Amino acid sequence: MSHQIVREPCGTEDDLWSRIRSYYPFNLLAGRDVLDCCNGLLLILHRSSVPPSSVPSQYYVCNPATKQCVAILVNPNHLDPIYAVLAFNPVESPPNNTNNNYKIVRFASSASTASITYPPELDVFSSVTGKWVNHPVPLQPEPELYGFKWLCKSVYLDRVLYMLSYTMYLLCFDLNVDNLNPRAVKLLNKGKALGVGFIGMSKDCFYYSNHVENAVLVWSLDHDHKWILKHNICRDDYRLSPLFVPCALHPTSEVIFIAIPRMIFSYNLKTNQFNVFYILQEYRNLIDDGCFFFPYSRCLVVLNDFTQMNDMPRNKGLEVGVTI
């Protein structure tokens, strides 16, 4: 297999960050305030600069395509509200339906100290009810998954929320049922992989990818929760940094985005061709800084109880946001 790198005009970090900051009715102080992006909606955390007893922090669910933003109070039980993700599918909320349904999901503070007697819990906010609901989520196997840590990156597909744990398990929660039907699926190549890897969605299919030995491997997950190897991207055919980390999938094309410390490549899984997609400023490092990469595509669902955002540009097509 041969690989070709094609250099194309790339945006700078300042250009992209300036565009992101212009979307919201408050001053985003850091890229990490962008917690998640799911099917066209963004989850933002606006931290309060005064004591929590006076003005609590707020989540904002924003739709850049329709210039809308909804303020949601952070659950007071969450000591650190940054570990929250967004679950939304426009198919479940047609454009003419003002009673749209998105959810904010966060592991409760008991997750890192959970035990067989006290299983972990998920707190779920629903835009339909406007309330947070607590759900115990006993997981198997025990006790390996108790006391675990989780990654912020998530995937929402077919009403199921997927999250990664540092114990090398994929955690699955069905947000359509009251008990969430919790399930843990063991990840592949434990001990050989470089870190936990990443999860993504493309063309309504779920994928898991990781750097294993000298290659980047991409698997899909079938309905029986079995892994199927789809792609093998070998690193021996070109000279790049050994830090070679898959970070995102294009939602509608067979393209995977791969990061090295100061650059992001797009790799076409059909043509085996690399393109230089994004170049970071010299003083930043994509890998060491712990960046998250969010593919974004426009969605015209109207949010209920929204505030208008002024002078916000409309987006066209796909953008990949780099939050630092």
Asked whether the bond before 76 is cis by omega within 30 degrees of 0, the reply is no
pLDDT tens, position by position, 42-87: 898 887 665 554 455 788 898 888 878 888 888 877 767 778 899 9
At 94, the pLDDT band (50, 70, 90 cuts) reads low
Contact call for residues 192 and 181 (beta carbons, < 8 A): no
Cα 321 from Cα 40, distance rounded (Å): 12
Pick the CATH number of 4-323 from 1.10.3470, 2.30.30, 2.120.10, 3.40.1620: 2.120.10
Mean pLDDT of the 115-124 span:
81
Retrieve residue 77's tokens: 């039980």
CB neighbour list of residue 20: distance below 8 Å, 6 or more residues apart: 28, 31, 34, 321, 323
DSSP 17: H
The structural domains of the chain, with segments of one domain joined by +, span 4-323
For the question of whether the overall pTM of this predicted structure is more than 0.85, the answer is no
Which of 18-22, 136-140, 145-149 is the most confident on average? 136-140
Helix, strand, or coil (residue 90): helix
Kindly report the number of other CB atoms within 10 A of residue 73's CB atom.
13
Mean pLDDT of the 130-157 span:
82
> Considering only CA atoms, which of 14, 136, 68, 41 is closest in space to residue 305?
68
